[in-house]
Chains A and B, each alone.
Chain A
Amino acid sequence: MRHRLFAHAYWLIGGLAIVMVLLPVMAPGAFYLRVAALVYINAIAVIGLNLLMGYAGQVSLGHAGFFGIGAYAVGLGPAVFRLPVWASLLAGVALSGVVAFIVGRPILKLRGFYLAVATLGLGLLIWMFLNNQSDLTGGPNGMQVPRLVLFGWRAVGTSTWYWISAATLLFAAYLAINLIDSPTGRAFRAIHDSEIAARVLGVDIVRYKLLVFVLSAVYAAVAGSYLALFDGFVTPDSASFLRSIEFVVMAVLGGLGSVFGSIVGAALLVVLPQALTSFHEYEEIVLGLIMIVFMIFLPAGIVPSSLARWRGRAA
Chain B
Amino acid sequence: MSELLQFTFSGLTVGAIYALVALGFTLIFNTSQVINFAQGEFVMLGGMVTVFGAAAGIPLPLAALLAVVVAVLFGVALYRFAIAPARGASPVTLIIITIGASIMMRGIAAVVFDKNFHGFASPLGDAPLKIGGAAILPQSLLVFAGVAFIVAALSIFLKRTLTGKSMLATADNPLAARLVGIDTSRMIEISFAVSATIGAVGGILATPIALTSYSTGTFLALKGFVAAMLGGMGSPLGAVIGGLLLGLIEQLGAGYLSSQYKDAIAVVVLLLVLFIRPSGLFGKAGIERV
The chain A residues found within 8 Å of chain B, CB to CB, are 53, 59, 106-107, 109-114, 117-118, 120-122, 124-125, 128-129, 132, 194-197, 200, 241-242, 245, 248-249, 252-253, 256, 281-292, 295-296, 299-301
Contact = CB atoms under 8 A, between A and B. Distances in A.
A245 to B, nearest CB: 6
Contacts of B263: 124, 128
Contacts of B162: none
A256 B92 contact: yes
B271 A114 contact: no
B97 interface: yes
A128 B261 contact: yes
Given A132-B261, A252-B92, A252-B93, A194 B107 contact: no
A281 B106 CA distance: 11
Contacts of A300: 89-90, 93
A290 B110 CA distance: 18
Contact of A132 (B102, B107, B260): B260
Interface string B75-110: 000000010011011101111110111111111101
Contact of A117 (B86, B101, B226, B260): B226
Contact of B274 (A118, A196, A253): A118
B280 A114 contact: yes
A287 B103 contact: yes
A295 B226 contact: no
A53 B147 CA distance: 37
4 closest A-B pairs by CB:
A288-B104, A284-B107, A291-B100, A288-B103
29 contacts: A106-B275, A110-B274, A117-B225, A117-B226, A117-B274, A118-B270, A118-B271, A121-B270, A122-B271, A128-B263, A128-B264, A129-B264, A241-B222, A242-B218, A248-B92, A253-B96, A256-B92, A281-B111, A283-B107, A284-B110, A285-B107, A287-B103, A289-B100, A291-B99, A292-B101, A295-B93, A295-B96, A300-B93, A301-B93
Interface centre among A112, A296, A300 (most CB of B within 10 A): A296
A109 B85 contact: no
B279 interface: yes
A294 to B, nearest CB: 8
Given A132-B260, A196-B290, A296-B82, A291 B96 contact: yes
B104 A110 contact: no
A196 B288 CA distance: 8
Nearest to A121: B267
Interface of B: 35, 82, 85-86, 88-90, 92-97, 99-108, 110-111, 218, 222, 225-226, 229, 233, 260-261, 263-264, 267-268, 270-271, 274-275, 278-280, 286, 288, 290
Contacts of B86: 295-296, 299
Interface centre among A117, A125, A253 (most CB of B within 10 A): A117
Given A107-B271, A288-B101, 10 more contacts: A110-B274, A118-B270, A120-B226, A128-B267, A249-B96, A288-B102, A288-B107, A289-B104, A292-B97, A296-B97
Contacts of B270: 117-118, 121
Contacts, number: 131
A282 B218 CA distance: 18
A197 B88 CA distance: 24
Given A285-B111, A288-B104, A112 B286 contact: yes
Given A252-B93, A281-B111, A111 B233 contact: no
A114 B89 contact: no
A37 B264 CA distance: 34
A292 B100 contact: yes
Contacts of A242: 218
Contacts of A106: 275
A286 B233 CA distance: 32
Interface centre among A53, A286, A289 (most CB of B within 10 A): A289
Nearest to B270: A121
Nearest to A252: B96
Contact of A284 (B103, B261, B275, B280): B103
Contact of B267 (A53, A125, A292): A125
A110 B100 CA distance: 27
A296 B85 CA distance: 6
B96 to A, nearest CB: 5
Contacts of B111: 281-282, 285
Contacts of B286: 111-112
Contact of B100 (A129, A248, A283, A288): A288
Contacts of B261: 128, 132
Contacts of A200: 290
A33 to B, nearest CB: 28
B89 A299 contact: yes
A181 to B, nearest CB: 23
Contact of B88 (A245, A295, A299): A299
A292 B102 CA distance: 10
Nearest to B38: A288
Nearest to A280: B111
A118 B233 CA distance: 13
Contacts of A295: 86, 89, 93-94, 96-97, 100
